[in-house]
């Protein structure tokens, strides 16, 4: 007989003894005892995370201040910002950012639904079109137009560079 055959009848007996030992550790329950909470509790579900409530719209005074450009130019910083290479950087700016970048416009006009800020230097004109963002209710530039005598890309870049240079106090 092999050793394995000798232990074969012992394995079920050992398992039964182990299970009996586990049952002996728990106190016996009578039919009147309440069922432990852990036995009846449902698994916890994670709490539902709700998005924050929408922000209240700003007061009417703040809304007027956001749509009306400042009349005074902010103080010129000692080092003017570097001149950008492309006027496409104007797309996506808030009115505050456009004012910080180019100063106050030469004129403002309404072309519903857009508010257009115009910057003029000689025969060069930059129109920056602001539209209201429906989520934030703030004006944001979505387009620009450069008007020059010559209708070439080079002339339009030169126009933008001239406006940038003059508005940022460069010679």
pLDDT, one tens digit per residue, over 44-90 is 555 555 566 566 665 655 555 555 555 555 554 444 455 666 889 99
Mean pLDDT of 130-158: 92
Long-range residue pairs from 25-34, CB within 8 A, at least 24 positions apart, any chain = none
Please report which confidence band the pLDDT of residue 166 belongs to, taking 50, 70 and 90 as the band edges. confident
pLDDT, one tens digit per residue, over 80-131 is 455 666 889 999 999 999 999 999 999 999 999 999 999 999 999 999 999 9
CATH number at residue 90: 3.30.1450
Please report which confidence band the pLDDT of residue 2 belongs to, taking 50, 70 and 90 as the band edges. low
DSSP character string of 116-162: EEEEEETTEEEEEEEEE-TTT--EEEEEEEEE-SS-SHHHHHHHHHH
Tell me the Cα Rg of the chain. 38
* Greatest mean pLDDT range, 10-19, 22-31, 89-98: 89-98
Q: Which two tokens stand for residue 137?
A: 């209710």
Is residue 48 a part of any domain in this protein? no
- Whether the pTM exceeds 0.75: the reply is no
Is residue 63 a part of any domain in this protein? no
Is residue 125 a part of any domain in this protein? yes
What pLDDT score does 151 carry? 86
Is residue 44 a part of any domain in this protein? no
* Count of domains for the chain: 1
Is residue 40 a part of any domain in this protein? no
Is residue 17 a part of any domain in this protein? no
Is residue 33 a part of any domain in this protein? no
Question: In the chain, where does DSSP find H-type helix?
Answer: 3-7, 10-25, 37-40, 60-67, 95-102, 153-167
Domain encompassing residue 100:
86-167
What pLDDT score does 79 carry? 46
Is residue 11 a part of any domain in this protein? no
Burial of 118 (0-12, 13-18, 19+ CB in 10 A): middle
């Amino acid at each position: 007989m092999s050793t394995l055959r000798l232990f074969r009848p012992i394995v079920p007996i050992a398992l039964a003894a182990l299970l009996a030992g586990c049952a002996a550790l728990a106190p016996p329950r009578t039919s009147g005892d309440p069922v432990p909470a852990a036995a009846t509790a449902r698994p916890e579900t994670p709490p539902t995370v709700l998005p924050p409530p929408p922000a209240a719209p700003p007061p009417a005074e703040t809304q007027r201040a956001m749509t009306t450009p400042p009349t005074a130019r902010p103080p010129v910083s000692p080092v003017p910002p570097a001149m950008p290479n492309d006027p496409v950087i104007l797309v996506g700016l808030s009115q505050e950012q456009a004012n910080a970048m180019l100063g106050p416009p030469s004129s403002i006009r309404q072309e519903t639904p857009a508010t257009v800020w115009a910057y003029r230097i000689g025969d060069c004109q930059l129109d920056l079109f602001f539209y209201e963002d429906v989520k934030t209710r703030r004006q944001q530039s979505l387009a620009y137009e450069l008007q020059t005598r010559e209708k070439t890309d080079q002339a339009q870049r030169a126009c933008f560079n001239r406006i940038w240079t003059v508005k940022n106090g460069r010679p």
